[in-house]
């Protein structure tokens, strides 16, 4: 099996890594909703992140050791952990208490729009007209999904959108950090800082009775850390090392459809007409933004 995999071209390998990552991440909204039913948000996010840190530490230790911790990385690492590890993932765990897995999956595509907006504002990327049209479709699709009569919006949906806004900002620091250390080392340091912050906030703000944390809760947190915050991130890094980010992001846009299908199979919950109506312009918008980028430049700092 390994010999056959090695015979594939680098592009095919990248597509296989990406396909495995997409299938895993499609389960992510379902997993955090399952965890939300019995665990405080900050506690579950913190423990899962520390598990990911331990997993990445083991991988990094075997490959390169820990000498990289003496490098000048801590400012970027702290900001990366703050925006993604604490901000994005922390808000997603909170959102799971108030909204559905389907909404989480579809609204997560708004990260593409916010990335477009931030990169354009900072003049790090230029775009064609079709990308601006795509941003309108993405906004329209998100609005359809979160809208309730009387202009009442679900708190969970708003938290998902806020989480996706923070992600592109964190990725700017991640890109800068990638010039200093490897992807595995980045995830290790990010998870270490974010996990400690999340657990600290949890013990300060949440009431936690450890006797009520069941074995299935610990299993969910272990699974979240190893599979979703660890293995899936490695698959994504290996994928974009071999294929373009544009292609990877375009293919990853199918994740909400897979998630909605999984929700139906697992919970026997039929997607609402509002979700289906909203996902169409959302996917169109994501395709137009991702598929029509112009020149890309990294600003020197």
* Domain span at 83: 11-296
pLDDT at 291: 64
Question: Do the domain assignments include residue 6?
Answer: no
Confidence of residue 294 (pLDDT cuts 50, 70, 90): very low
Question: Do the domain assignments include residue 1?
Answer: no
What is this structure's pTM?
0.80
Are 162 and 91 within 8 A, CB to CB? yes
Mean pLDDT of 101-112: 83
Question: Do the domain assignments include residue 4?
Answer: no
What value does the mean pLDDT of the chain take? 82
Question: Do the domain assignments include residue 187?
Answer: yes
pLDDT one-digit tens code per residue, 112-121: 778 777 877 7
| 296 phi, psi to nearest 5 deg | -125, 130
Are 77 and 193 within 8 A, CB to CB? yes
Query: CB atoms < 10 A from the CB of 201, how many?
Result: 17
Question: Do the domain assignments include residue 3?
Answer: no
Question: Do the domain assignments include residue 301?
Answer: no
CA distances from 62 to 55, 57, 171, 178 (A): 11, 9, 26, 19
pLDDT one-digit tens code per residue, 163-200: 999 988 888 888 788 788 888 898 999 999 999 999 99
Buried b (16+ CB within 10 A) or exposed e, 265-298: eeeeeebeeebeebbebbbbbbbbbbbbbeeeee
Tally of domains in the chain: 1
pLDDT at 92: 94
pLDDT at 246: 57
Question: Do the domain assignments include residue 203?
Answer: yes
Question: Do the domain assignments include residue 5?
Answer: no
């Amino acid at each position: 099996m390994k010999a056959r995999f090695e015979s594939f071209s680098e592009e095919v390998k990248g597509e296989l890594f990406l396909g495995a990552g997409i299938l895993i991440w499609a389960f992510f909204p379902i997993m955090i909703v399952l965890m939300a039913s019995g665990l405080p948000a900050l506690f579950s996010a913190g423990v899962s992140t520390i598990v990911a840190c331990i997993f990445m530490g083991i991988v990094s230790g075997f490959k390169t050791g820990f000498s990289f911790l003496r490098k000048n990385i801590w400012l970027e690492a702290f900001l990366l952990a703050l925006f993604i590890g604490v901000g994005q993932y922390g808000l997603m765990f909170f959102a799971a208490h108030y909204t559905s897995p389907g909404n989480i999956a579809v609204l997560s595509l708004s990260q593409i729009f916010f990335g477009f907006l931030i990169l354009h504002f900072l003049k790090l990327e230029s775009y064609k007209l079709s990308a601006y049209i795509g941003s309108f479709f993405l906004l329209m699709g998100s609005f359809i999904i979160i809208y309730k009569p009387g202009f009442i919006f679900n708190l969970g949906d708003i938290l998902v959108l806020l989480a996706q806004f923070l992600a592109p900002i964190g990725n700017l620091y991640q890109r800068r950090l990638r010039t200093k250390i490897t992807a595995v080392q980045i995830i290790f340091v990010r998870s270490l800082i974010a996990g400690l912050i999340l657990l600290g906030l949890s013990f300060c703000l949440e009431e936690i009775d450890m006797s009520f944390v069941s074995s299935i809760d610990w299993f969910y947190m272990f699974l979240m850390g190893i599979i979703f915050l660890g293995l899936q991130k490695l698959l994504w890094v290996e994928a974009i090392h071999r294929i373009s980010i544009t292609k990877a992001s375009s293919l990853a846009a199918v994740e909400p459809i897979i998630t909605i299908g999984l929700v139906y199979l697992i919970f026997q919950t039929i997607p609402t007409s509002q979700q289906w109506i909203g996902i169409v312009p959302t996917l169109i918008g994501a395709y137009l933004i991702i598929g029509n980028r112009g020149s890309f430049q990294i600003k020197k700092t």
